[in-house]
Amino acid sequence: MSSLEIRDLRKRFGSVEVLKDINLSAESGEFVALVGPSGCGKSTLLAMIAGLESVSSGEIRIDDRVVNDAAPKDRDIAMVFQSYALYPTMTVRENMSFGMESRKVPKAEQKTTIARVAEMLQIEPLLNRKPSQLSGGQRQRVAMGRALVRDPKLFLFDEPLSNLDAKLRIEMRGEIKRLHRDVGKTTVYVTHDQVEAMTLASRIAVMFGGVLQQYDTPKNIYDDPVNRFVAGFMGSPTMNFLDATVERGGLVLEGGDGTVLPLPPERLAGLTPGQRVIWGVRPEHFSPAAEGRVERRGGVSVPVEAHVEMTEPTGAETILMTRIAGQKALISVEPDDAPDAGQTAALAVDMAKTCLFDPTTDTRL
């Protein structure tokens, strides 16, 4: 079991700085997800951990050993690629034994290891087939098998599920979670899908523009985003961002009729009257006023009126495209509670769960 430590890591390609001052550490057995949009640097970071990209400055430590100059094979890692990267001219068995052969592991040990891993992943019937004869999900399992056979200190995943269709993706997600639970190795998992990150990770590192925005548990990332980017990136449908001003002990929405949405006192403490803010409220933070859901949980709700423009029933929920004080907002309600388009919905919001952001710096207030 090991830990991973990244200190002050920077990466430059020519004159372009692609990773800026990354500081990250993972405890033994943790599942760390690197999330972010394309181009945020998460794949480069993974490549540097693997040793496939050089370090411009900073340190990478695996198990307290600085590995900056170590070749990938000397870092005791295993990696699963988005395109599976199975050796096309070798059988599944040979794919799995290739690494062991390169390291001169005795044949008997190779055999038992392959048998064990094949059983774990249920790919025994596939051992003599070539990759071109396998389906997408089978290839993914073989790719994981190849990684498991190494018994490494660190598992690296590079968007392994992106090439699968939606249903298969959910199935494989479950398998990866199960595997991690059984095998318990430290894992770094790159994905652009925040749902995958939320469901799989013990800690999520949100990245944007080469900078680590926030590194925390899924719950904290979701409930306590550190800036507007993180808030907007995590959660689907995305958080609503409404312009407002701080006035008379609460928020007054721009374009509204001047109604004040009172804020809890602890929130008001750091704000000045007249300050302009961005109010971040998630679609599921709204509930029908009549229900009293917030009160039942011991909170205080604030009434809000939303003018419904369109409804999107998805079966499990209905998403309302509304306007609150003239600004667009998405609201998620149960299908039975959904009003029709054109109506005005009377809603309640738990202000304690919402967030406030500075309009210029986008940081959380």
Partner 1 sequence: MSETGHIEFDPLSTGSARRRITSKAIVYGLLGVFAAFYLMPIVIILANTLRPLDDIVRTGFIAWPTDISLSYWGEAWGTFCIGGQCEGVSRYFKNSLAMAIPATVISTALGLINGYVLSKWRFRGADLMFGLITLGVFLPPQMTLLPWAYILGSIGLSNTISGLVLVHVVQGVSFTTLFCRNYFINIPDDLIKAARIDGAGFWRIFRRIVLPLSPPIVIVAVIWQFTGIWNEFLFGTIFTSGDKQPITAAIVAFSGSGTGERHYNVEAAAVIMAALPPLFIYLVGGKYFVRGLTSGAVK
Partner 2 sequence: MTTDAKTPRLRRWLGDNIGPLVLMPTLVASFAYVVLFSAWTLWLSVSTSTLLPDPTYGGWGEYAALWQSKRWTVAYQNLFVFGTLYVLGSLIVGTLLAILIDQRVRFEAVWRTIFLYPLAISFIVTGTVWRWIFHPQTGVELALHDMGWIAAEFDWITDRDLALYVVVITGIWHASGFAMALILAGLRSVDGDIVKAAQIDGASVPRTYWRVILPTIWPIFLAVAVVLLQFAIKTYDLVVALTQGGPGVATTVPAIVVFDLMFERGQIAQGAAAAVMILVALGCVLIPYALYTRWRTRREESRHV
Chain positions contacting partner 2, by CB under 8 A: 50-52, 71-73, 77-79, 81-89, 98-99, 102-103, 132-135, 146, 150
Q: Is 22 in the site for partner 1 (CB under 8 A)?
A: no
Q: Is 47 in the site for partner 1 (CB under 8 A)?
A: yes
Q: Which of 44, 97, 187, 318 is close enough to bind partner 1 by CB under 8 A?
A: 44
Span interacting with partner 1, options 49-57, 88-96, 121-129, 147-155, rule CB under 8 A: 49-57
Residue 361 vs residues 37, 70, 269: alpha-carbon distances, Å = 20, 39, 19
- Please give the size of the binding site for partner 1, defined by CB under 8 A: 18
Span interacting with partner 1, options 78-86, 253-261, 266-274, 278-286, rule CB under 8 A: 78-86
CB of 64 to partner 1, least distance (A): 19
Residue with tokens 């309600």: 333
Judged by beta carbon, residue 82 or residue 259, the one nearer partner 2 is 82
Q: Is 82 in the site for partner 1 (CB under 8 A)?
A: yes
Whole-angstrom distance, CA of residue 356 vs CA of residue 365: 5
Residue 98's binding partner among partner 2, partner 1, none (Cβ under 5 to 8 angstroms by kind) is partner 2
- For residue 289 the two structure tokens come to 């006023």
Q: Which of 14, 15, 16, 69 is close enough to bind partner 1 by CB under 8 A?
A: 69
Q: Which of 1, 52, 66, 341 is close enough to bind partner 1 by CB under 8 A?
A: 52
Within 121-160, the residues that bind partner 1 by CB under 8 A are: 158-159
Q: Nearest Cα to 235, choosing from 217, 210, 212, 218? A: 218
> What's the DSSP call for residue 18?
E
Residue 302 contacts by C-beta under 8 Å, 6 or more apart in sequence? 250, 261, 262, 348, 349, 350, 351
- For residue 349 the two structure tokens come to 């919001």
Judged by beta carbon, residue 64 or residue 69, the one nearer partner 1 is 69
Residue 43's binding partner among partner 1, partner 2, none (Cβ under 5 to 8 angstroms by kind) is partner 1
Q: Is 196 in the site for partner 1 (CB under 8 A)?
A: no
- For residue 160 the two structure tokens come to 């392994």
CB burial of 79-88 (b: ≥16 within 10 Å; e: otherwise) equals bbebebebee
> What's the DSSP call for residue 161?
T
Residue 147 near residue 79 (C-beta atoms within 8 A): yes
Residue 365 vs residues 148, 262, 301, 361: alpha-carbon distances, Å = 44, 16, 21, 10
CB of 351 to partner 2, least distance (A): 48
Residue 54's binding partner among partner 1, partner 2, none (Cβ under 5 to 8 angstroms by kind) is partner 1
- Give the CA-trace dihedral at 352, 353, 358, 359, to 10 degrees: -120
Residue 86's binding partner among partner 1, partner 2, none (Cβ under 5 to 8 angstroms by kind) is partner 2
Q: Are strands 211-216 and 203-208 parallel, antiparallel or unpaired?
A: antiparallel
CB of 99 to partner 1, least distance (A): 15
Q: Is 72 in the site for partner 1 (CB under 8 A)?
A: yes
> Which amino acid is residue 73, in one-letter code?
K
- For residue 1 the two structure tokens come to 């079991």
Within 227-266, the residues that bind partner 1 by CB under 8 A are: none
CB of 69 to partner 1, least distance (A): 4
> What's the DSSP call for residue 364?
B
CB of 51 to partner 2, least distance (A): 8
What are residue 158's DSSP bridge partners? Answer: 190
Judged by beta carbon, residue 77 or residue 200, the one nearer partner 2 is 77
Q: Are strands 318-324 and 250-253 parallel, antiparallel or unpaired?
A: unpaired
Judged by beta carbon, residue 35 or residue 302, the one nearer partner 1 is 35
Residue 335 near residue 313 (C-beta atoms within 8 A): yes
Judged by beta carbon, residue 1 or residue 52, the one nearer partner 1 is 52
Whole-angstrom distance, CA of residue 210 vs CA of residue 20: 6
Q: Is 81 in the site for partner 1 (CB under 8 A)?
A: yes
Judged by beta carbon, residue 72 or residue 137, the one nearer partner 1 is 72
Interface ranges with partner 1 (CB under 8 A): 43-44, 46-47, 51-52, 54, 69-72, 74, 81-83, 158-159, 162
